[in-house]
């Protein structure tokens, strides 16, 4: 898989913005990204390190199932997504804005 196809987009919400500013003595901030469903943690770590030029300490992933939605007289589902929470080194920072 190509390096730039692993990361779909950064997830910018109130919760993820708060996590991106919180650092501790052990590690830096945590950033959330929507990633390709077939990407594993090692691929995600390599992609984040090379694209954003930071040192990644930890990667946590979760699969989010699609929700049932109605459109006129039919029901359908939104797409399934995979979310990755990436913790960077305390000396690293990602500028998303």
Domain containing residue 54: 3-88
Is there a domain that residue 61 lies in?
yes
Kindly report the CATH number assigned to the domain that includes residue 73.
3.30.70.330
Measured CA to CA, the distance from residue 22 to residue 2 in angstroms comes to 31
Is there a domain that residue 94 lies in?
no
Is there a domain that residue 63 lies in?
yes
pLDDT, average across residues 34-48:
96
Sign of the dihedral defined by the CA atoms of residues 77, 43, 83, 2, in that order: negative
Contact 40, 84 (CB under 8 A): no
Where b means 16+ CB within 10 Å and e means fewer, 17-53 reads eeebeebeeeebbbbbbebbeebeeebbbebbeeebe
Instruction: Indicate the pTM of the whole model.
Output: 0.87
Identify the pLDDT of residue 18: 87
Is there a domain that residue 28 lies in?
yes
The number of folded domains in the chain is 1
Is there a domain that residue 95 lies in?
no
Is there a domain that residue 96 lies in?
no
φ/ψ (deg, to 5) at 16: -70, -30
Q: Mean of the per-residue pLDDT values for the chain?
A: 91
Identify the pLDDT of residue 17: 86
Is there a domain that residue 29 lies in?
yes
Q: What is the pLDDT of residues 45-89, one digit of tens each?
A: 999 999 999 999 999 999 999 999 999 899 999 999 999 999 999
């Amino acid at each position: 898989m190509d390096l730039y196809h692993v990361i779909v987009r950064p997830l910018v919400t109130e919760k993820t913005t708060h996590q991106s500013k919180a650092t501790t003595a052990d590690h830096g901030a945590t950033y959330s990204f929507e990633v390709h469903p077939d990407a594993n943690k090692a691929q995600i770590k390599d992609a984040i390190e090379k694209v954003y030029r930071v040192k990644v300490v930890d990667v946590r992933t979760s699969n989010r199932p699609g929700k049932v939605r109605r459109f006129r007289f039919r029901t359908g589902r939104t797409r399934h997504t995979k979310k990755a929470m990436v913790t960077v080194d305390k000396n690293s920072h990602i500028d998303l804005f």
